[in-house]
Chains A and B, each alone.
Chain A
Amino acid sequence: MKKAIGRIYILIIMLFLYLPILTLIVLSFNEAKSMSVWTGFSLHWYAELFQSRLMMGAIVNTFSIAILAALIATIVGTMAVLGMSALKPRTENVLLGINNVPMLNADIVTGIALMLFFLMIGAPRGYMTVLFSHTVFCIPYVILSVRPRVNKNTNRLFEAALDLGASERYAFRKIVLPELWPGITSGFLLSFTMSVDDFIITYFTRGAGINTISTLIYSEVKIGIRPSLFALSTIIFVVALLVLIIVNIRQERANKHALA
């Protein structure tokens, strides 16, 4: 009895979480443009999606900005962590405190601030300003995820490597970097998702000519959403799901390996 109630409870939660997405997926295959009536199966909207210059441009922008911003933020953030670890603990804590502020800040404040900054220095707004903004708001997250990997122990391992005759560069590459790696990859993935997810900051820092998926959807809402956007959302959802499954399977394998 208890078990049955538990199962029903889980089922309801799953329905609430996934029914909207399911609706979206179903509608993306709908023949008509209607959002309520099923008229038949078709890949029509997918075709429209891939033929639309506007949409393909937005997709390319979104993902190229996400990858580049995550990459740059990861490199800059990791270097910042290494630099800060050499400071006195008090100075470092102050810097880490400052690092937390942008994360707590409302996106709209960050977005407007960046926009004003670009206006002030007279930078033409477009792809580069969005990329710059995304890099900027991702750096704190990278610092936050890499920082815990740099501790007394990392320093001891580094010294042990030097003690065994390694040059500083070799010791860093062979010993310190593998220690930081989990933090670096999670910082990168976090940055990537944050960037793909972002709407507000992009909205304020993009120029007239460029769109990402989120700003494109926003502008389409005003003139009426086309089901090709459902198709796009479906693709993004499936890709995210696949990535998640792969990551989980790999983790499971790693855990099993660790136990063996």
Chain B
Amino acid sequence: MSELIRLEGIVKRFDDTMVLNGIDLSVEENQFVTLLGPSGCGKTTTLRIIAGFETPDEGRVFFDGKDITNMPANERPVNTVFQNYALFPHMNVGENIAFSLRVKNKSEDEIRSRVKKALKLVNLKGFENRRIDQLSGGQQQRIAMARAIVNEPRVLLLDEPLGALDLKLRQEMEYELVRLKNELGITFIYITHDQEEALTMSDKVVVMNEGYIQQEGSPQEIYDEPVNAFVADFIGDSNIVPGQMVDERVVKIDGVEYPCIDGTEEGFPPRRRVDVVIRPEDIDIVPYGKGQWNGTIISKLFIGVHYEMLVQSEDGKVEWLLQNYDQHDVGEKIGMKVDPENIQIMHKPKSDAESAIEIDL
């Protein structure tokens, strides 16, 4: 696969606030890339710079190897599905979709057949003459898609396109989007603050916070090997606990030593203070005294398929979050163990942007 879009050192300020702090990003042809991050981290701004609605203060944007930093939005070979759809209210569905074709002075015959094809792609055959305010949220979303793809852009930018839909519809649309992308064979750059959406659909996830890219990689990499507490915390529930390397590939947490798979080679020499991530589903429950450490269950919650439990470690200060399919009672003393490859060692945060989100209760 070849590189299609590259951002180099993009810096953007609004008034005096830094919104993007030097973004480097490479998007390959046909990739489904997701920008993931909390509200206000600069996702939309990044997308608007790619679309051409915002000029970066520093840095360059390349498309197919060509510098397009100063190319106006209406000349860029990208189209956008806006967060609120931005459908033209005084035009019917057909006219909305035909807009970009009309701009290009296509013949009426061609316009009609291409609009029809686009509507078929989004499963809304025969909707040409509907008015925009007669459509449901999900239908508007599909029309926005149809309008953006009818002109066959090489890249589709999508800004939280499912944000306004309810959970069920959102999950349906996730499949639709992936199907559409495969049928069209074009590149998707997708924005969301929903980690599940990002992990299910993307080839590559880019986690952002406070105008920095925290980590990029495949969904698997992001989930299994978060590089810092922020990413670990943002991608699903985790135990993030302080620890210290005590030997090559041995980390001490809460007074207990655990074998792990990181050492000097990975940048964690003995005596280094670190953060450790252990996913709640990676902690196995064993009979009391048979595991690596022991604890008492202090609360239990049934959430659908599995139980979520909070376990207070014995003579330690750490509360562990566990997920398990088996039922255990509150107050029960249990043993716990974790495989070395499920212990993810991370550097201590260097800045606020890299630390986990504090939630005050």
Contacts and interface: CB of A to CB of B under 8 A. Distances in A.
Interface of A: 153, 156-157, 159-168, 170-171, 174-175, 178-179, 258
Contacts, number: 59
A165 B88 contact: no
Contacts of A167: 74, 103
A165 B133 CA distance: 24
Given A156-B82, A156-B84, A170-B103, A162 B73 contact: yes
B103 A164 contact: yes
A164 B82 contact: no
Given A165-B74, A165-B104, 13 more contacts: A153-B86, A156-B82, A156-B84, A160-B86, A162-B53, A163-B51, A163-B53, A163-B73, A163-B148, A164-B100, A164-B151, A166-B103, A170-B103
B88 A162 contact: no
A171 B100 CA distance: 11
Nearest to B97: A164
| Top 10 closest pairs, chain A to chain B, by CB | A164-B100, A160-B86, A156-B86, A162-B73, A162-B74, A178-B90, A165-B103, A163-B80, A166-B103, A165-B74
Contacts of A164: 74, 79, 99-100, 103, 147-148, 151
Contacts of B148: 163-164
- Interface residues of chain A: helix, strand, loop or mixed (majority): helix
Contact of A160 (B72, B80, B104): B80
B343 to A, nearest CB: 46
Of A163, A171, A258, most B-chain CB atoms within 10 Å: A163
A18 B75 CA distance: 62
Interface string B239-265: 000000000000000000000000000
Contact of A163 (B74, B88, B89, B133): B74
Interface bracket on B: 20 to 34
Interface string B71-102: 01111001110101010111000000001100
A258 B131 CA distance: 9
Contacts of A168: 74
Nearest to B90: A178
Interface in B108-151: 133, 147-148, 151
Contact of A159 (B53, B133, B147): B53
Nearest to B133: A258
Nearest to B144: A160
Contacts of A161: 88, 99
A244 to B, nearest CB: 25
Nearest to A166: B103
Contacts of B151: 164-165
B115 to A, nearest CB: 13
27 contacts: A153-B84, A156-B82, A156-B86, A157-B86, A157-B88, A159-B73, A159-B82, A160-B88, A162-B73, A162-B74, A163-B51, A163-B74, A163-B78, A163-B80, A163-B148, A165-B75, A165-B100, A165-B151, A166-B74, A166-B99, A166-B100, A166-B103, A167-B103, A170-B103, A178-B90, A179-B89, A179-B90
Contacts of A178: 90
A161 B91 CA distance: 13
